[in-house]
């Protein structure tokens, strides 16, 4: 029934006590027993009956439909959503009281009849016929005719004295012309075995075996005496499967979130008390909490010793704590845990029984007193007086402030309790006014609500204070229905977010949070709480008021300041085995106990990466309770969306919307002014590095376009990655405005870079940007545009004023972050002629009016040219060329294989991301004695791909093996190192053609750092690896004859007879030809050594796996090693030689990159001078440049691989592809 609504039937009674609930439960149980999925509902606010429904329907939660609280749209929304969620075949709705009994005597508001009419559902009427004869016909006629909009499907006559009594009643109904059309669906005999005891107008809890037995007897009674087939078919004939209106099918729009995708936010862990003492919850309340972003974690105040770890809020519902006072009192550790959570600022929401649990002492009314949590300044005492009714509640100022609710909001709720708040001598704390209406609770400074009882009389109701708000604890006797007040659930979740603990290791996030917390909200006027930010990274320098006193949890290992020095230092750090370029203060991290950490994954040099952070959280035991939020906007719109997202994360959605609107308005003003003037838009080129030349990307092209410029380079667009380019591309682009913002440098630092690297290039002074007076060459402090936060809008306004100085933009400042060149043509000391730009309304920039400027210190925060990409300074004198061939670029996380007397290197991480060489090969030359010499001749091995397939996938930390002439690659991490892969790709080593591996069966889950071995030349075995959070110890087999996956050993973290889940290990296949049933050494086995697991870190254990024993307890065997056992290690290598396993500790190839860098320098110089070829002085070889290759026409024969680099084109086309990267 997924996607459509089921048929529906309402079970009602002529009054309370006629057996309606028992019969409804029996029908639900019987239909469920027949294999139908029954969605149960209960009319009204009752808590107990739905618990019995849920038990009868096999665990499908029963849902309350209360017209008085929820209204028509709320009822229809709840009905349709819950039916779809359970994929029900039929919905059974049990009514409350009599069919027409509701909130008052002059309408059907809150009645079963109202719900039946809204659902267009037929009604089955239950009649207590114990003392009835022919009068039953009159009763049935009255109910059938009272409201013509009610469709009476039939009646069930309960408590029949015998068969003759049943026939008498049937005859009475069928013989009357007024009732002969009414079906008698069943006559149930009176049975003591099915009497369900009641308590306080409801049934007892369905937790005992007695109730289960009673339900069983009821089902058998229904099966024997009710015509279920007719009942079900009649619902179909009645067209009861009414469709709710479209407007009611979705959850109410959450306030102030602009429909933000809550699934992308870190979850808020709400602890919900659930046991025999606390069991009164509307199912829709929990559903609305989950829809608002909460993760429900159940706990038992009766039986659990402490609260679950990592909670951000507690929901204590109603129930019967008075029946379990002694157990609750005895559980001192739980009471202390709840008290500590609330005292520490955690959000606690308690209703009725929850209020009782938070009080000092519970007096049961029979002389017993029991200590409770002791949070609230009063006791609670059981009384014989019942308080029951619908309540309209408005939040008090304290509650409105805590939950950010409108002060005039009216919450629909109900009360039902026998206890009252009392002082230590048993007197009620509620103070009454002259009219008998409550005016406050003694000792309670801040009530939770101002409540009024919903009455049918015409008297104006008087409100009275109720409940308590104490710090972040809310306690009330009101049961609020979150479906009736859709603001409530998001308010609770957002309040919990405002009390969570945060750490920001990303400067953009810190800047954005500061802007959010300082945004004024004149409507609500509530203050923010920036103290929830507990730590930052060393690069979080703005805003100063926020970061000034916060501990810095990271320290960069990079101390260099120039791009050349940074790259050299990075290579040195990598050579020592370090992959993380930032240290994390794990002690401070553990002390801060963050619930959420803001981080990034784009660049391992700008800040701590998400993967490094996860390892640190894992090390201090916080990985399971701390969420991470990745900040990676690529455009200005992404930045605006991030404002909303971060605001939602910290529970400040409304302020986020206000800030978002303000930033959007400022951008619109700039656009409107430019559109109104319609000026000529200059061609703008932006650089983020002068040497090597790198054109800025991501949000920077977007800023230039929004400021009224045109990208001088066609390849630049909003969101594009930064890329390296040749000087002749800049000359050809003829930029009219040149903006330079070098990574990690101030404006003065960028000016120096322009002097040293750009001004000396041929054609620089002839660029159109340099031909105006003054020249339109600007250098910008990198911090003004390097952080994609709200400050980008400042940059756009400034840039718009620079590009269009005649337009009056609403901004006027002498901005020292932007300098303009005002010197003479072809000057040598160019950096001395940069001065601050005076961006003034309605005035052109005149060099004679510019003030002198004292250069600011050069920024020292290291920034890369593009993610994971930077090159050292080219040099010629310090390196010699190899005798012949070439070197692969410096690599790590790669795979080294042997095939056909060659070494094959399948690339992993390399310095330049745009390097397209995926495979390298080397011949091993032989000495005179036939042994391999020390000389390796490397060369790239160009490969093609099957037409239409985007292979190979750029990856690192993958696994590969050679099978015959086929190279099989599996798993690893994507090019950015963000996502684990499960791709299987094949390379035919004879044709050098890549293709996807087409397999059947369930492949291994995505993972990086796995191992793969070729077993017996017909199967591949994949073991271990990790996905960034979880490590694996499963063994998955790929049958190479059928290309089918199968799991030999499932992932089991606790299995004692298998290796612990691990990653960065090695595995080899150890074949044997002497099979012996009792001797393990004679088996073909996979041997696994080392790696790292979650608990111990690096390992040095050795395990053997026998695939022939898959599925048995002895498939794995740990080997006991003697002698000089290698120390624990990870990211190593292993080979099999002469039946011995040999480990190699090196974890990366540290080739010198200077030689290849010299080649690049020579090539750039040759191209800049227009050479088509040049002679390499190191080798004496003639080298063709890109200028030569561009001019060489394509042969047009659709070659799978073109040695000149052309892409496939139609036959006869002779022009080279202009989009080709050279």
- Mapping DSSP onto H, E and C, the string for 732-760 reads HHCCCEEEECCCCCCHHHHHHHHHHHHCC
Q: Give the model confidence (pLDDT) of 555-564 as tens digits.
A: 888 887 766 6
Average pLDDT over residues 768-784: 91
Q: Which helix (H) or strand (E) holds 1018?
A: none
In the chain, the N- to C-terminal Cα span, in Å, equals 57
* Residue of 57, 83, 279, 352 marked active site: 352
Q: Give the model confidence (pLDDT) of 846-901 as tens digits.
A: 333 333 333 333 333 332 222 222 223 222 222 233 334 455 656 777 899 988 88
The residue with tokens 């920039």 is 845
Indicate whether 925 pLDDT > 50: yes
Tell which wins on pLDDT, 1007 or 433.
1007
Tell how far CA 109 is from the center of its chain.
42
Judge residue 440's burial from the number of C-beta atoms within 10 Å of its C-beta, 0-12 exposed, 13-18 middle, 19 or more buried.
middle
Nearest-CA neighbor of 1104 among 1010, 1021, 1018? Answer: 1021
Alpha helices in 680-804 (DSSP H): 699-706, 727-733, 747-753, 783-786, 791-803
- Record the tokens describing residue 354, joined without a space: 């929850």
Q: Give the model confidence (pLDDT) of 641-688 as tens digits.
A: 999 999 999 999 999 999 999 999 999 999 999 999 989 999 999 999
What is the percentage of the chain residues whose pLDDT exceeds 90?
A: 50
Q: Strand runs (DSSP E) across 59-121, as ranges?
A: 63-65, 90-98
Contact 269, 309 (CB under 8 A): no
Q: Identify the pLDDT of residue 1173.
A: 61
Q: Give the model confidence (pLDDT) of 815-839 as tens digits.
A: 568 999 998 888 888 888 998 886 5
Q: Identify the pLDDT of residue 234.
A: 76
Position 1186 confidence tier, pLDDT thresholds 50, 70, 90 = low
Alpha helices in 979-1117 (DSSP H): none
Q: Identify the pLDDT of residue 841.
A: 35
Q: Identify the pLDDT of residue 766.
A: 94
Indicate whether 1135 pLDDT > 80: yes
Average pLDDT over residues 491-509: 94
Q: Identify the pLDDT of residue 1185.
A: 62
- Record the tokens describing residue 1005, joined without a space: 């889950």
Position 1138 confidence tier, pLDDT thresholds 50, 70, 90 = low
Q: Identify the pLDDT of residue 11.
A: 97
Q: Identify the pLDDT of residue 274.
A: 96
Indicate whether 305 pLDDT > 80: yes
Q: Which helix (H) or strand (E) holds 870?
A: none
Indicate whether 245 pLDDT > 50: no
CA dist 1211 → 455, 1193, 1199, 1216 (Å): 87, 12, 10, 13
Indicate whether 420 pLDDT > 90: yes
Q: 0.75 exceeded by the pTM?
A: no
Q: Strand runs (DSSP E) across 197-288, as ranges?
A: 198-199, 202-203, 268-273, 278-280
Contact 194, 164 (CB under 8 A): no
Strand partners, 40: 92
Measured distance CA(832)–CA(474) in Å, rounded = 65
Can you give the three-state secondary structure of 1111-1125, one letter per residue? CCCCCEEEECCCCCC
Measured distance CA(37)–CA(490) in Å, rounded = 31
Q: What residues have CB less than 8 Å from 401, skipping those under 6 apart?
A: 526
Q: Which residue ranges form the domains of the chain, and what is each CATH number?
A: 7-242 (3.40.50.300), 262-495 (3.40.50.880), 501-632 (3.40.50), 658-849 (3.40.50.1980), 891-910+918-927+938-998 (no CATH), 1007-1149 (2.120.10.80), 1154-1191 (no CATH)
Measured distance CA(873)–CA(882) in Å, rounded = 20
CA dist 213 → 84, 203, 223, 279, 307 (Å): 30, 15, 15, 21, 34
Q: Identify the pLDDT of residue 394.
A: 95
Tell which wins on pLDDT, 365 or 402.
402
Q: Give the model confidence (pLDDT) of 156-202 as tens digits.
A: 999 998 999 999 999 999 999 899 889 999 999 987 556 665 554 44
Q: Identify the pLDDT of residue 1055.
A: 67
Measured distance CA(515)–CA(863) in Å, rounded = 23
Contact 420, 363 (CB under 8 A): no
Q: Identify the pLDDT of residue 244.
A: 44
DSSP structural state of residue 537? -
Nearest-CA neighbor of 268 among 600, 494, 36, 9? Answer: 494
Least confident of 405-414, 516-525, 1022-1031, 1190-1199: 1190-1199
Measured distance CA(364)–CA(95) in Å, rounded = 32
Contact 278, 317 (CB under 8 A): yes
Tell which wins on pLDDT, 721 or 235.
721
Q: Identify the pLDDT of residue 316.
A: 98
Q: Identify the pLDDT of residue 1180.
A: 47
Position 1079 confidence tier, pLDDT thresholds 50, 70, 90 = low
Position 1121 confidence tier, pLDDT thresholds 50, 70, 90 = confident
Angle between helices 488-498 and 283-291 (to 10 degrees): 50
Least confident of 586-600, 702-716, 859-873, 1068-1082: 859-873
Position 107 confidence tier, pLDDT thresholds 50, 70, 90 = confident
Q: What residues have CB less than 8 Å from 666, skipping those under 6 apart?
A: 793, 797
CA dist 952 → 148, 955, 991 (Å): 71, 9, 15
Indicate whether 423 pLDDT > 50: yes
Nearest-CA neighbor of 1020 among 1002, 993, 1001, 1041? Answer: 1041
Strand 710-711 and strand 683-690: the pairing is parallel
What is the percentage of the chain residues whose pLDDT exceeds 70?
A: 79
CA dist 494 → 292, 400, 499, 652 (Å): 9, 13, 9, 7
Nearest-CA neighbor of 967 among 1021, 895, 908? Answer: 895
Measured distance CA(379)–CA(513) in Å, rounded = 42
Measured distance CA(277)–CA(207) in Å, rounded = 11
Q: What residues have CB less than 8 Å from 349, skipping those under 6 apart?
A: 313, 314, 315, 316, 474, 492
Q: Alpha-carbon dihedral of residues 257, 260, 264, 266, nearest 10 degrees?
A: 0
Contact 799, 806 (CB under 8 A): no
Q: Give the model confidence (pLDDT) of 260-272 as tens digits.
A: 566 678 999 999 9
Tell which wins on pLDDT, 658 or 255.
658
- Record the tokens describing residue 1153, joined without a space: 């990159």
Contact 894, 956 (CB under 8 A): yes
Q: Which residues of 417-426 are buried (b: 16+ CB within 10 A; e: fewer)?
A: bebbbbeeee
Nearest-CA neighbor of 132 among 184, 198, 86, 94? Answer: 184
Position 938 confidence tier, pLDDT thresholds 50, 70, 90 = confident
Work out the angle at residue 210's Cα, subtended by the Cα atoms of residues 205 and 213, and round it to the nearest 5 degrees: 115
Q: Identify the pLDDT of residue 700.
A: 94
Measured distance CA(1046)–CA(1041) in Å, rounded = 13
For the chain, give the mean pLDDT.
82
Position 322 confidence tier, pLDDT thresholds 50, 70, 90 = very high
Measured distance CA(476)–CA(466) in Å, rounded = 7
Longest dimension (CA), the chain: 119
DSSP structural state of residue 548? T
> Quick check: is 1199 catalytic?
no
Q: What residues have CB less than 8 Å from 470, skipping those under 6 apart?
A: 375, 376, 377, 446
Measured distance CA(47)–CA(27) in Å, rounded = 19
Tell how far CA 1039 is from the center of its chain.
36
Work out the angle at residue 939's Cα, subtended by the Cα atoms of residues 934 and 945, and round it to the nearest 5 degrees: 140
Position 959 confidence tier, pLDDT thresholds 50, 70, 90 = very high
Q: Which residues of 458-488 are buried (b: 16+ CB within 10 A; e: fewer)?
A: eeeeeebbbbbbbbbbbbbbbbbbbbbbbbb
DSSP structural state of residue 600? B
Contact 467, 391 (CB under 8 A): no
Q: Identify the pLDDT of residue 1130.
A: 86
The residue with tokens 């093996």 is 961
Measured distance CA(268)–CA(649) in Å, rounded = 10
Indicate whether 241 pLDDT > 90: no
Q: Identify the pLDDT of residue 936.
A: 74
DSSP structural state of residue 348? E
Measured distance CA(287)–CA(289) in Å, rounded = 5
DSSP structural state of residue 247? G
Strand 278-280 and strand 318-319: the pairing is antiparallel
Q: Identify the pLDDT of residue 560.
A: 74
């Amino acid at each position: 029934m997924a996607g459509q609504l089921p048929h529906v039937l309402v079970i009602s009674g002529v009054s309370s006590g006629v057996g309606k609930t028992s019969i409804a439960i029996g029908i639900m149980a019987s239909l469920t027993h027949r294999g139908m999925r029954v969605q149960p509902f209960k009319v009204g606010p009752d808590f107990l009956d739905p618990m019995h429904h849920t038990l009868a329907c096999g665990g499908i939660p029963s849902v309350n439909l209360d017209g008085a609280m929820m209204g028509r749209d709320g009822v229809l929304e709840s009905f349709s959503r819950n039916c779809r969620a359970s994929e029900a075949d039929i919905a059974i709705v049990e009514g409350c009281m009599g069919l027409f009994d509701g909130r008052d005597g002059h309408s059907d508001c809150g009645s079963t009849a109202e719900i039946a009419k809204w659902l267009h559902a037929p009604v089955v009427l239950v009649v207590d016929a114990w003392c009835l004869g022919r009068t039953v016909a009159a009763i049935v006629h009255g109910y059938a005719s009272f409201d013509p909009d009610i469709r009476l499907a039939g009646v069930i006559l309960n408590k029949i004295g015998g068969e003759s009594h049943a026939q008498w009643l049937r005859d009475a109904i069928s013989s009357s012309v007024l009732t002969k059309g009414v079906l008698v669906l069943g006559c149930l005999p009176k049975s003591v075995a099915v009497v369900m005891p009641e308590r306080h107008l409801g049934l007892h809890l369905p937790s005992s075996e007695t109730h289960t037995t009673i339900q069983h007897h009821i089902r058998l009674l229904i099966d024997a005496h009710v015509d279920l087939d007719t009942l079900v078919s009649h619902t179909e004939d009645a067209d009861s499967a009414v469709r709710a209106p479209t407007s009611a099918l979705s959850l109410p729009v959450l306030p102030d979130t602009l429909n933000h995708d809550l699934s992308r936010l870190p979850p808020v862990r709400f602890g919900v008390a659930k046991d025999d003492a606390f069991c009164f919850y509307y199912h829709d309340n929990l559903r609305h909490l989950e829809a608002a972003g909460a993760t429900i974690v159940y706990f038992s105040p009766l039986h659990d010793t402490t609260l679950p770890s990592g909670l951000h809020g507690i929901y204590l519902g109603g129930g019967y704590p008075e029946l379990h006072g002694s157990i609750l009192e005895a559980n001192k550790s739980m009471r202390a845990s709840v008290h500590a959570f609330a005292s520490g600022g955690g959000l606690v929401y308690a209703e009725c029984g929850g209020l009782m649990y938070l009080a000092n002492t519970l007096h049961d009314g029979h002389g017993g007193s029991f200590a409770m949590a002791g949070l609230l300044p009063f006791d609670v005492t059981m009384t014989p007086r019942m308080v029951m009714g619908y309540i309209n509640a408005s939040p008090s100022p304290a509650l409105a402030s805590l939950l950010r609710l409108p002060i005039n909001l009216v919450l629909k709720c109900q009360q039902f309790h026998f206890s009252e708040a009392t002082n230590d001598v048993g007197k009620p704390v509620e103070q009454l006014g002259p009219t008998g209406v409550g005016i406050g609770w003694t000792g309670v400074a801040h009530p939770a609500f101002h409540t009024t009882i919903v009455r049918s009389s015409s008297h104006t109701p008087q409100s009275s204070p109720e409940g308590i708000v104490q710090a972040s604890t809310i306690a009330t006797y009101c049961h609020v229905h979150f479906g009736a007040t859709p603001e409530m659930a998001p308010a609770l979740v957002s309040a919990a977010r405002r009390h969570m603990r945060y750490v920001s290791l990303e400067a953009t996030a810190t800047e954005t949070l500061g802007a959010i917390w300082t945004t004024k909200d004149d409507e609500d006027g509530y203050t923010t709480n920036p103290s929830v930010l507990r730590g930052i990274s060393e690069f979080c320098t703005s805003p100063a008021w926020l970061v000034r006193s916060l501990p810095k949890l990271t320290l960069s290992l990079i101390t260099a300041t120039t791009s050349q020095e940074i790259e050299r230092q990075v290579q040195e750090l990598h050579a020592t085995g370090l992959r993380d370029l930032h240290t994390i203060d794990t002690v401070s991290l553990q002390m801060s106990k963050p619930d959420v950490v803001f981080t990034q994954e784009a660049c391992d040099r700008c800040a701590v990466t998400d993967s490094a952070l996860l390892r640190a959280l894992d090390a201090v035991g916080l990985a399971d309770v701390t969420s991470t939020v990745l900040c990676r906007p690529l455009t200005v719109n992404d930045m605006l969306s991030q404002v909303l997202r971060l605001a939602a994360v910290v529970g400040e959605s409304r302020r986020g919307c206000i800030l978002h609107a303000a930033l959007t308005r400022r951008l619109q003003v700039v656009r409107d002014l430019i559109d109104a003037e319609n000026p000529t838009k200059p061609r703008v080129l932006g650089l983020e590095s002068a040497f090597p030349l790198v054109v800025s990307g991501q949000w920077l092209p977007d800023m230039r376009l929004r400021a009224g410029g045109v990208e001088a380079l066609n390849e630049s667009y909003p969101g594009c990655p930064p890329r390296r380019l040749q000087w002749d591309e800049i000359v050809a682009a003829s930029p009219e405005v040149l903006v330079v913002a070098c990574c990690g440098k101030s404006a003065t630092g960028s000016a120096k870079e322009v002097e040293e690297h750009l001004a000396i290039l041929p054609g620089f002074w002839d660029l159109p940007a340099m031909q105006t007076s003054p020249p339109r060459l600007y250098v910008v402090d990198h911090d003004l545009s390097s952080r994609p936060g709200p400050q980008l809008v400042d940059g756009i306004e400034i840039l718009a004023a620079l590009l269009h100085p005649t337009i009056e933009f609403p901004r006027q400042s002498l901005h020292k972050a932007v300098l303009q060149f005002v010197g003479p043509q072809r000057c040598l000391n160019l950096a001395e002629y940069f001065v601050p730009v005076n961006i003034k309304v309605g005035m052109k920039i005149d060099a004679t009016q510019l003030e002198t400027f004292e250069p600011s210190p050069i920024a020292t925060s290291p920034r890369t040219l593009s993610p994971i990409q930077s090159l050292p300074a080219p040099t010629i004198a310090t390196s010699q060329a190899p005798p012949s061939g070439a070197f692969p670029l410096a690599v790590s996380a790669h795979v080294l294989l042997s095939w056909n007397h060659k070494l094959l290197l399948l690339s992993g991480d390399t310095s330049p991301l745009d390097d397209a060489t995926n495979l390298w090969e080397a011949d091993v030359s032989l000495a005179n004695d036939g042994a391999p010499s020390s000389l390796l001749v490397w060369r790239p091995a160009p490969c093609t791909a099957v037409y239409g397939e985007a292979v190979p996938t750029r990856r690192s930390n993958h696994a590969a093996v050679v099978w015959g002439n086929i190279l099989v690659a599996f798993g690893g991490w994507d090019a950015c190192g963000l996502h684990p892969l499960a791709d299987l790709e094949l390379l035919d080593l004879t044709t050098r053609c890549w293709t996807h591996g087409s397999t059947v069966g369930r492949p291994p889950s995505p993972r990086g750092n796995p191992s793969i071995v070729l077993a017996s030349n017909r199967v591949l075995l994949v073991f271990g690896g990790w996905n960034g959070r979880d490590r694996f110890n499963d063994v998955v087999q790929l049958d190479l004859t059928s290309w089918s996956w199968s799991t030999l050993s499932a992932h089991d973290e606790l299995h004692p007879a298998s290796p612990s889940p691990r990653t960065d290990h090695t595995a080899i296949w150890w074949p044997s030809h002497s099979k012996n049933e009792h001797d393990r050494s004679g088996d073909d086995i996979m041997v696994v050594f080392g790696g790292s697991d979650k608990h111990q870190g690096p390992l040095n254990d050795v395990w053997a796996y026998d695939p022939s024993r898959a599925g048995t307890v002895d498939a794995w065997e740990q080997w006991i090693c003697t002698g000089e056992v290698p120390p624990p290690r990870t990211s190593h290598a292993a080979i099999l030689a002469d039946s011995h396993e040999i480990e190699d500790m090196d974890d990366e190839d540290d080739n010198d990159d200077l030689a290849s860098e010299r080649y690049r320098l020579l090539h750039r110089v040759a191209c800049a001078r227009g050479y088509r070829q040049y002679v390499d002085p190191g080798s004496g070889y003639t080298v063709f440049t890109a200028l030569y290759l561009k001019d060489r026409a394509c042969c047009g024969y659709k070659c799978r691989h073109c040695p000149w680099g052309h892409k496939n084109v139609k036959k006869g086309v002779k022009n080279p592809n202009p989009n080709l990267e050279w």
